[in-house]
């Protein structure tokens, strides 16, 4: 027996069917309830933020029994704190890649420094001088040779972001491996002193301060997540435990050709 439905009932059923599809919000560029653009290429844009707060603020923000994986609301609270001058955005890193591929973005200065030295030494033989009449000979010793650098390394100062996103089959979930890093040169450590007639040439090594996160997370498309809290340096280049950097990550699926 064939059943028929009033026109209004059919329209209502269709509306509920469309509303139940968990895609992007209506009106957004990626809103595609019928999957008409599933065949188009997809890329993932990853955004990492370092937001500075006091240690007390961090404790208050995380006082809830459980911080949800969706940190969008928490990020909104921090946006208000930044607006009120109670928090600060230290760095924002952005990188886009295709699913399953690695990508890197850098804002760096190459810092080259010696890592190995030849020790200071005296000349092998003294030098001999003659006077005008060639009657007497005097012997003098050349200046000693100071430490000589023989090997060098390069350290990138600034910010770097490495990502490797993998998109799920339904284009809604991103498995993300990422490594954001900020490196500062905060001083030098002297290991040996050398003073010669041409000035000082100490043997020294640079000291770096690094903020780094190396992890893998699973994200929903367009949602922020709090992934780490780090302690920044103070003006002397040592760890400042009174302040914290909250590290947020967000991954957006981008449809090519929309």
pLDDT, position 139: 55
Q: What is the 3-state secondary structure (H, E, C) of the chain?
A: CCCCCCHHHHHHHHHHHHHCCCCCCCCCCCCCCCCCCCCCCEEEEEEEEEEEEEHHHHHHHCCCCCCCCCCHHHHHHHHHHHHCCCCEEEEEEEEEEECCCCEEEEEEEEEEEEEEEECCECCCCCEEEECCCCCCEEEECCCCECCEEEEEEEEEEEEEEEEEEEECCCCCEEEEEEEEEEEEEEEEEEEECCEECCEECCEEEEEEEEEECCEEEEEECCCEEEEEEECCECCCCCECCCEEEEEEEEEEEEECCC
Q: Report pLDDT for 219.
A: 96
What pTM does this model have? 0.76
What pLDDT sits at residue 119?
79
Q: State the pLDDT at residue 256.
A: 84
What would the pLDDT profile of 111-148 be if each residue is shown by its tens digit?
Answer: 999 998 887 776 666 555 555 555 555 555 556 677 88
pLDDT at 96: 97
pLDDT for position 11: 46
The low-confidence residues of the chain, meaning pLDDT below 50, are 5, 9-23, 26-27, 34
Q: What is the pLDDT of residues 238-249, one digit of tens each?
A: 999 999 999 999
């Amino acid at each position: 027996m064939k059943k028929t439905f009033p026109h209004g009932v059919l329209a209502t059923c269709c509306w509920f069917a469309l509303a139940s599809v968990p895609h992007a919000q209506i009106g957004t560029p990626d809103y595609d309830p019928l999957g008409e653009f599933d065949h188009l290429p997809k890329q993932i844009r990853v955004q990492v933020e370092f937001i500075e707060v006091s240690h007390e603020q961090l404790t208050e923000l995380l006082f809830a029994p459980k911080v949800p994986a969706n940190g969008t609301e928490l990020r909104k609270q921090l946006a208000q704190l930044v607006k009120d001058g109670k928090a600060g955005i230290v760095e924002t890193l952005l990188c886009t890649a295709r699913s399953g591929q690695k990508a890197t973005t850098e804002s760096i200065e190459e810092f080259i420094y010696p890592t190995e030295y030849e020790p200071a030494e005296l000349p092998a033989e003294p030098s001999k001088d003659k006077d005008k009449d060639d009657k007497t000979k005097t012997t003098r010793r050349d200046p000693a040779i100071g430490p000589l650098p023989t090997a060098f390394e390069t350290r990138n100062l600034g910010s770097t972001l490495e990502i490797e996103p993998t998109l799920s089959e339904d284009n809604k979930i991103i498995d993300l491996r990422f490594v954001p890093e900020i490196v500062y040169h905060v001083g030098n450590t002297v290991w040996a002193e050398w003073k010669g007639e041409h000035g000082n040439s100490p043997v020294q090594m640079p000291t770096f301060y690094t903020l780094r996160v190396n992890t893998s997370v699973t994200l929903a498309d367009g949602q922020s997540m709090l992934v780490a809290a780090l302690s920044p340096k103070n003006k002397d280049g040592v760890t400042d435990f009174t302040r914290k950097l909250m590290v947020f990550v967000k991954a957006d699926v981008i449809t090519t050709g929309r």
